[in-house]
Amino acid sequence: MMAAAGAAAPGQRRRRRRLACRRTCLARLLAARRGATGLEFALSGPLFLILMFAILEVGLDSFTQAQLDDSVRDAARQLQIGNATTAAQVVTTVCLKLGLVVPNCSSSNVSVYAASGTTFAALAVATAKSSGGLSLTTFSPGTASSDMLLQVGFTRSFVLPYFSGLIGGNYTNTLISSIAFQNEPY
């Protein structure tokens, strides 16, 4: 039997049907909105969470730094009037003040540097070591009316160590508080 003129052969019909299905399936896929929210969150969610945790980390660092500054001021006053004469006494004064903010405060993560001299210009300044702590850790309480530099370094771990890896760190951050003063003429 011969097909009527203008009628397509069975193979051609199948090809046309497949082509039409591809067009409509693609159009349906592009028009579909189900799952769009999930896809958007999968793309933007991790960036948002990283940003939120970074803000948390910076906020905790800033708060801890403010508390460290306050506690070092108190320790410097004790050193200034002659009540603190050792590094251990300064660490105790600092840790008592930091107790609520930093529950694990001890001499293992607090380093003290105290230098005395006749002029402030002659005093050396400690810096943070990459492994944590201060580069200088000598302690000299000075004498009456001597110029003093007190620096306290607090090494704190990141809340989420993963972020430290992102910035190439060693999972700790050393906060330094410095204060210069002159001892009382006791």
- Tell me what pLDDT residue 179 has: 95
Distance CA 97, CA 95 (A): 5
pLDDT means per 10 residues, the chain with 186 residues, are: 58 73 70 76 89 88 93 94 92 89 85 93 90 90 91 86 65 89 85
Q: Taking Cα atoms as reference points, which of 183, 56, 167, 171 lies closest to residue 114?
A: 183
- Tell me what pLDDT residue 1 has: 47
- Tell me what pLDDT residue 178 has: 96
The 8-class DSSP code of residue 6 comes to T
Q: Taking Cα atoms as reference points, which of 90, 104, 79 lies closest to residue 183?
A: 79
Q: Which residues of 71-95 are buried (b: 16+ CB within 10 A; e: fewer)?
A: bbeebbeebbeeebeebebbbbbbb
- Tell me what pLDDT residue 138 has: 93
Sort strands 172-182 and 147-157 into parallel, antiparallel or unpaired: antiparallel
Using the structure block, give the residue that is written with the tokens 């008592």.
96
- Tell me what pLDDT residue 3 has: 52
